[in-house]
Amino acid sequence: MTHKLDITRDAAISLLLLKDPALERRVLRMVEMVESANTFAIRDFAAVFHLSPTYLQRLFKHETGICLGEWLGEKRLQRAAYLLSNSHLSIKEITHAVGYEHTSSFVRAFERRFLQAPARYRKQNEGQNKYASEKSETKRTA
């Protein structure tokens, strides 16, 4: 049985990718565009850089060692988790904000990644955000 790459680790190295001076300029630009919280698909990047989607994916993998599609998917799900914890947007609004066309596809992907439904994730993380904001308020008044 083959083990899937640890996508969380791969997504975490994106900041390191930004600091790598040897990184091919188009790949570096893609990482910067995704880090700026814009939602992009592989076909969008291919159009921006005037490359075929296949060549673009091969270039990204060669330069970073990470599969572009998996990395983009992980970045979308991390952004969704952040929005669930830090906003009052509906799950449908978050679905579209992170680049999914169908809520059912988003929910399945989120459940595979976080092992729980988005609504449950939001409910579990509500208390943590309230505690963090109360803690920062306490520090400011002290």
> Where do the structural domains in the chain lie, given as residue ranges?
7-141
- Please give the pLDDT value at position 15: 46
Please give the CATH number for the structural domain made up of 7-141: 1.10.10.60
- pTM of the predicted protein model: 0.71
Distance set, CA 59 to CA 3, 29, 54, 67, 83 (Å) = 23, 13, 9, 10, 31
Residue 90 tokens read as: 């509906």
- Please give the pLDDT value at position 22: 57
Give the Cα separation of 80 and 73 in Å (integer). 11
Distance set, CA 108 to CA 9, 34, 46 (Å) = 21, 22, 27
Mark the ranges of the chain whose per-residue pLDDT is less than 50. Answer: 1-5, 7-8, 10-11, 15, 131-133, 136, 138
- Please give the pLDDT value at position 13: 55
Question: Per residue, what are the HEC states of the chain?
Answer: CCCCCCHHHHHHCHHHHHCCCCCCHHHHHHHHHHHCCCCCCHHHHHHHHCCCHHHHHHHHHHHHCCCHHHHHHHHHHHHHHHHHHHCCCCHHHHHHHCCCCCHHHHHHHHHHHHCCCHHHHHHHHHHHHHHHHHHHHHHHHC
- Please give the pLDDT value at position 1: 36
- Please give the pLDDT value at position 131: 46
- Please give the pLDDT value at position 64: 82
